[in-house]
Amino acid sequence: MSLKVLSVASEAAPLVKTGGLADVAGALPAALAAQGVGVTTLLPGYPSVLAKLGPKPGRAVHKWDALLGTPARLLAGTLGGYPLLVLDARALFNREGGPYADASGRDWDDNWRRFATFARAAADIAGGAVKGRSFDLVHAHDWQSGLVPAYLRFAPQAGGRTVPSVFTIHNMAFQGYYDAEVFAQLGLPASTWTVDGVESYGGVGFLKAGMQLADAITTVSPTYAGEIRSVEFGMGLEGLVLARSNRVHGILNGIDTAEWNPATDPHLAARFAAGKLAARRKNKRAIEQTFGLTRDDGPLFIVVSRLTWQKGMDVLAEVIDHLVGTGGRLALLGTGDAELEQRFLAAAARHPGRVGVRIGYDEALAHGLQGGGDAILIPSRFEPCGLTQLYGLAYGCVPLVSRTGGLADTVIDANPAALAAGVATGIQINAVNPAALASGISRAAQLYHQPGAWKRLQTNGMKADFSWRASGAAYAALYRQLIEEQG
Ligand code: ADP
Ligand code: GLC
């Protein structure tokens, strides 16, 4: 049976990206096509998305005079060759800045309205509002799409179909939590203002609503699916996770192996494969040049990350002197908390030639770093899945990670048993604090100086399968099960 699924996301690569959600939403259509599932993606009409639809996106395929009060229309395009729908609601999305915040990084005040409207549109579309486009299921991602299951269940459009919904949590830390006052403007029946509906700790919880009302909840790794049952990782919603635990699934993200393939990557100075690791040297020279690092024989550590507490970047800032002390160098690409940015810039000034820092977002440079770095540092406090360790594995850039979430599920620590069995792919640390990270860095530096062992780590990672094959099949099986249940 071939299925039609509407995937609802606030970002999708290559059209708009601030993090891993975009990589995943961008890769799902191809991953699921292989399983006989046709995915149409719905995105908000940010300027960057509208611009890429071309100068003449064509006629609107649907119009709303007032979608939660805002005039809007739906445009059609393509995302990596697969069907795309774009919600063009100028008053809400056509502004300069990022998808969620203005140019200075301040969240838009009306984010609740922007993403409630987006979810309302998604529910209409999934219910069959657009002529010629019908769907069997809707797959909503993160808090920005959290109200989709609420509208489908409690405020379906007149004559609309009821389709089952899957809600994926990519990050429990972003909950879309708003004051109770906004509830009256969401267009939901008063009866949904309860703990079984969209109410959460006295306010409106968009993520909570998705978790409460979707037919299935998924998160992006098996370990994170277990962790969010605890107070430490559940961030106030652990009770809900436990209450619905028979509906919670952990499905690991894959990577887009066309976009992230060292043998064909156009962003690399030299392309390479597992048997041709020497070619990576040229990529390392390119990094040294870009980051102003002196050439030497020690390990070159890299970072490609949001600079935030989640990612343990404050802990990394504490151990840079140690890293340099072991003979290592560091090339860091990232953007995020202003204070952390300053700390890394200060470290670069303290260690000229040994530490290079680029504050900013640069897709090409992210590829270049994975292609030439020796080890990528990911000391996250929590990590629903993480993609940069997977890119590191695919590119022979050995991941040094904390043992949490998807990092625990994808990296095999170079402990004596794994080394003896020849299966290790990286280094795991057990805790996120300066002592643990420093000792992980020392272990990495020691292994790096044993060329046979290091090469084995690299090639093991490069040969592992992180494609979407298994996870695409897992999503497809879940979709089919829900559709069957609904009869
Ligand atoms: P998260 O979504 O929590 O930020 P992931 O590891 O899942 O973490 O995904 C991050 C994605 O964003 C990866 O594709 C990574 O390469 C990319 N990325 C992060 N920071 C930067 C940056 N400064 N420049 C370019 N790409 C970046
Ligand atoms: C989130 C998580 C990250 C995950 C990504 C894609 O941003 O922080 O761990 O890989 O979503 O699912």
Q: Are 365 and 335 in contact (CB under 8 A)?
A: no
CA of 226 to the centre of ligand 2 (A): 16
Give the CA count within 13 Å in the CB-facing half-sphere of 146. Answer: 30
| Minimum CA distance residue for ligand 1 atom 17 | 19
Q: How far, in Å, are 14, 30, 35, 100, 132 from residue 81 at the CA level?
A: 11, 9, 17, 26, 19
pLDDT value of position 205: 98
Q: Within 6 Å (CB) of ligand 2, which residues are found?
A: 19-21, 24, 170-171, 220, 253, 383-387, 406
The owner of tokens 């990529």 is: 283
Cβ of residue 218 lying under 6 Å from some atom of ligand 1: no
Atom of ligand 2 nearest to the CA of 21: 6
Q: What is the token pair recorded at 127? A: 């219910």
Cβ of residue 238 lying under 6 Å from some atom of ligand 1: no
CA of 76 to the centre of ligand 2 (A): 27
| Minimum CA distance residue for ligand 2 atom 3 | 386
**Dist CA 188 CA 190 (whole Å):** 6
Atom of ligand 2 nearest to the CA of 19: 7
β strands within 280-434, DSSP E = 300-307, 329-336, 355-359, 375-378, 398-402, 427-429
| Minimum CA distance residue for ligand 1 atom 2 | 20
Side chain identity, residue 266: P
Q: What is the token pair recorded at 429? A: 């640390």
Count of CB atoms within 10 A of residue 450's CB? Answer: 12
Atom of ligand 1 nearest to the CA of 311: 3
Cβ of residue 364 lying under 6 Å from some atom of ligand 1: no
| Minimum CA distance residue for ligand 1 atom 9 | 20
CA of 386 to the centre of ligand 1 (A): 8
The secondary element (H helix, E strand) that includes residue 474 is helix 469-486
Cβ of residue 23 lying under 6 Å from some atom of ligand 1: yes
CA of 137 to the centre of ligand 1 (A): 29
Cβ of residue 370 lying under 6 Å from some atom of ligand 1: no
Q: How many helices (H) and strands (E) does the chain have?
A: 20, 18
Reference 119, options 242, 21, 207; nearest CA is 207
| Minimum CA distance residue for ligand 1 atom 19 | 305
Q: What is the DSSP letter of 107?
A: B
β strands within 185-238, DSSP E = 199-200, 203-205, 216-219
CA of 23 to the centre of ligand 2 (A): 9
Count of CB atoms within 10 A of residue 82's CB? Answer: 17
Q: Are 331 and 369 in contact (CB under 8 A)?
A: yes
Backbone angles phi, psi at 348, to 5 degrees: -65, -40
| 188-197 contacts, C-beta under 8 A, 24 or more apart | 188/147, 188/150, 188/151, 188/154, 188/155, 189/154, 189/155, 191/154, 192/150, 192/154, 197/150, 197/154
Angle made by CA atoms 146, 147, 152, in degrees to the nearest 5: 125
pLDDT value of position 161: 87
Ligand approaching nearest to the C-alpha of 303: 1
pTM (2 d.p.)? 0.96
Tell me whether strands 82-88 and 70-79 are parallel, antiparallel or unpaired.
antiparallel
Atom of ligand 1 nearest to the CA of 24: 7
pLDDT value of position 159: 83
Mutate-to-test residue for ligand 2 from 7, 21, 218, 228, highest number of ligand atoms within 8 A of CB: 21
Question: Low-confidence residues of the chain, pLDDT below 50?
Answer: none
Side chain identity, residue 27: A
Q: Are 147 and 177 in contact (CB under 8 A)?
A: no
Mutate-to-test residue for ligand 1 from 10, 260, 305, 359, highest number of ligand atoms within 8 A of CB: 305
Q: Are 372 and 301 in contact (CB under 8 A)?
A: no
Dihedral angle at the C-alpha atoms of 365, 366, 372, 375, nearest 10 degrees?
A: 140
CA of 21 to the centre of ligand 2 (A): 6
Q: Which residues pair with 62 in a beta bridge?
A: 74
Handedness of CA 68, 74, 77, 83 (dihedral sign): positive
